[in-house]
Structure formats: C-alpha cells, structure tokens
Amino acid sequence: MYLKSYFSHFWLLSLPLASTLIVPQTPLAEDTLSELTPIDNVEFNTTDYTSLDEWTPTKWDYDVVIVGGGPAGLAASMSLARVARTSLLYDTQEYRNEQTRYMHDVLGQDGQVPLKFRTAVRHQIDELYPDYSFWATRKTKVTGIIPLEKGFRVYDDKGGKVTAKRVILATGIKDILPNKPGFAEAFGRGVFWCPWCDGHDYKNRKMVVYGNLASAIGSALNIRKLTEDITIVTGGPLTKEDKEAAEARWPGWETVLKNVYKIPIRENDITRVERTTTQTEPKDDEYRVHLNGGNPLITNGMLISVPTAQTASLHKQLRLEMDGKSVKVKPNMESSVGGVYVVGDANNDGSTNAYHAMWSAKRAVVNAHVSMSKQEYLDVVPTAMVAAAGGDEGMYRLQIEHLESQIGDDVEQMYKALGG
C-alpha cells in the first residue's frame, strides 16, 4: 500500500514530498504551526519550516528520539542499539515509582532500589553500545515534537532541537493522590495501589483499604491471602447507591465481610495520614490514620485506588488519539500518528508495571526498525532504477511498474516474521 502511493507520487513530480509513512502529507501552514506551539510556555520558532529543506531533511540526527528514561525508555534504547539504530533519550527524572523503596516482581531484580536499577541499565548500555545510545543532558524536557515529511523534529527546554525518523514516547503517568496531609509523603512507603508491588511487605500485618465500598471490597479480597487484618475506610457514610453498587458486584457482601472475613467497615473519611516511626524500612512501617469522626486507626500499610494522568502533555500537542486518560496504541504500540510509538504506563494496553514497560518498548522497537529499514530501501530505489535504466525514461518507467507489482510485502508482515 505504501509502495503504491510512493511510486505514484514519485512518477508525478519526483519531489521530495512524495510521502510513504509519516503524516501530514503537506508542509504545515503558518496558522497550523501556531496551534501546535508546544505547551509549557517554551518559545517555539515558527520560521523553522518556511523552507523545503527544513521540511524534508536528507540527514537525520538520530534514528529514534526516546522521551522518558524509566524502564520503558531504557528498554527501547538498548533494543535499538542491538540492531545498530541510533537513539537520543530525554529524561526529566520524574519516575512514577520515584518514592518507592524497592521494586518487586521483576525477575532477577526483586527487591532492587529503582534508582540502582536505572543506573545499572544506563551503565550497561553506555559500556556496550556507546556508538548507538545517546543521552540528552539530565533533566532536559522535550517540549515540542513536529512531524516532518518522513520523520520528526524534537524541541527541548534548553533550546535544543534534533531530527529523528521515529519517536518513542515513554513518558509514563502520575498518580493523583488525595489532597490531604501525609498522603504524598506516604505514597510508595506504606501507602500503595499495587498488591504485587508492595503487598507482600504487609503479610500478616495491619492493612487499611481506602476507597468507595464496591472497589474497596475488591481490593480487600486481593490482599486477603496476605493478611486477614483488614479494615475498609469508605470515605464517608454509605449511601443507598453505595450499598446497591456493592451488592451488584459482591452479592451478600455485608454478611460475608462481617461474619466470614471479619473485615470492619469505617464509614468515615481520612483527614490525615501520620507516620509514627522514624524507621524507614517497609518492615517498620506504621501509620496513624486520622478520621473525621471516631478514633484514629493504627495500620502498617494502606491500599488505595487513585486516578492517574499523563506525566507529559506531548500527546495533546501531537493530537494523539486517546482512550480515556491513556494514549491509544495499535498492537505494535504505534499511536494514531504514524511513526510515533507510545510505550509503558502511558499507553492503553491496560497494564502498568515494569514488565509491561519493557515489553511494550521492545514491540515498538521491532516495528520501528522494520518500518525504517523498508523506508530506507524505498529511498534508494529511484537512484538504482535510473542507473539501471541507463537514462532511458521508457525503460525506467517499465522497471518502476515491474517493481511495484513485485514487491507486495508490507511492514506488518516483516514485523510479524521477526516475532514483534
């Protein structure tokens, strides 16, 4: 499909604007550029795209720009280097698990400090692939990404700009915590959302589950194998609707919680979370949970369920199609804009953990590499054809048509063959 459009464009004019993969098809008009002005008040030079050379660069600074240095971005960097693809990685050092003390449930890394994990990976990449993997200065933020005819120009908050054939967004999400004293400090240090990540630290210890009744019952069931000492805090008095919603999901919930599981329900909201120990290891965690009525609760850990938001706003600037708060991707991790891949927590794969971050990056890299290889091939076809035709235009035309009918395979087939 791409081949066809490539050749028909080529036939008509042989202009460098003949497009294969990346949208949009024509240079951006001045008014479109102002709409695409990067957010965060960073100056953007709209005169950059007044010349055709700027729009269709013939040389690229990097094969891929990676935005994000968490597990997803790092995995992309290594995987690209393995097939001799250059990449530049930007990292503002705002990691979702920044506050957590240890990462878990990752083979060979269970109990690892996240900072040590990231540092070890970067050292390994530096040591093994110095010719391919490059890092932007630490804490450099990508502020704008503009699609070109066959790639992208990427702007940062230190005034830098580079070009790349593909972009991988590994920008992550952030958890929106209750705006109440103590929550921000306690997050990842006893207050958490993921049973697999932190739950085991509270085996046979006191746990509070905080949230609306129906979802809190589900969360309580998810940690009941770890501990039976659970109290649900509902955030306020239960309404008829709360109880009906719980009954619809958990028939007989009141009886089962009270008589079988012995999980008390406190119909209060939390006003403050107070750490009662100066010790810092998970085994020592203890909190006093202040309620807006009644005595405070003492607990070792608290499971919460909170909304999330994209860490970066590049998806807005690129107008990527969304699925709720997540960026919509195809199975190959490509977003609604061709050549822009979104990996890790930021996408709508429905999974947010270190494994998914690394796996989704791998998928994106396989597809990006295969599609770049194909585009590079197409780019040399005209020169090869002209040379082979010895300047005979009729012969040249025939050769192009012959080639067009011969080459039927498309990027997706090659990608599948590579196990992407």
CA angle, 302 as apex, 259 and 272 as ends, to 5°? 110
Which of 19, 133, 353, 367 is in the footprint of ligand FAD by CB under 6 A? Answer: 353
With binding defined as CB under 6 A, does residue 185 bind ligand FAD? no
Helix or strand (DSSP H, E) at 195: helix 195-198
Q: At what angle do helices 354-389 and 71-82 cross, to 10 degrees?
A: 30
With binding defined as CB under 6 A, does residue 183 bind ligand FAD? no
Which of 3, 265, 337, 357 is in the footprint of ligand FAD by CB under 6 A? Answer: 357
Rounded least distance, CB 44 to ligand FAD, Å: 14
Which of 68, 144, 182, 235 is in the footprint of ligand FAD by CB under 6 A? Answer: 68
265 contacts: CB under 8 Å, gap ≥ 6: 213, 231, 232, 233, 234, 238, 257
With binding defined as CB under 6 A, does residue 172 bind ligand FAD? yes
* Binding segment (CB under 6 A) for ligand FAD, from list 122-130, 166-174, 376-384, 410-418: 166-174
Residue type, 20: T
Taking the C-alpha atoms of residue 358 and residue 71, their distance in angstroms, rounded to an integer, is: 6
Question: Are 174 and 312 in contact, with CB atoms under 8 Å apart?
Answer: no
Which of 3, 18, 142, 186 is in the footprint of ligand FAD by CB under 6 A? Answer: 142
Residue number with CB closer to ligand FAD (104 or 369) = 104
With binding defined as CB under 6 A, does residue 311 bind ligand FAD? yes
Rounded least distance, CB 13 to ligand FAD, Å: 37
Instruction: Find the binding residues for ligand FAD in span 191-230 (CB under 6 A).
Output: 192, 194, 197
Show the tokens assigned to 210. Answer: 């905080």
Rounded least distance, CB 398 to ligand FAD, Å: 49
With binding defined as CB under 6 A, does residue 335 bind ligand FAD? no
Torsion region of 215: left, alpha or beta (phi above 0 gives left; psi -120 to 50 gives alpha)? alpha
Taking the C-alpha atoms of residue 356 and residue 77, their distance in angstroms, rounded to an integer, is: 16
Taking the C-alpha atoms of residue 267 and residue 292, their distance in angstroms, rounded to an integer, is: 10
Rounded least distance, CB 370 to ligand FAD, Å: 23
Taking the C-alpha atoms of residue 269 and residue 135, their distance in angstroms, rounded to an integer, is: 45
Taking the C-alpha atoms of residue 341 and residue 75, their distance in angstroms, rounded to an integer, is: 14
Instruction: Find the binding residues for ligand FAD in span 85-124 (CB under 6 A).
Output: 90-97, 100, 103-106
With binding defined as CB under 6 A, does residue 71 bind ligand FAD? yes
Chain residues that interact with ligand FAD, rule: CB under 6 A = 67-73, 90-97, 100, 103-106, 141-142, 170-172, 175, 188, 192, 194, 197, 311-312, 314, 344-345, 352-355, 357
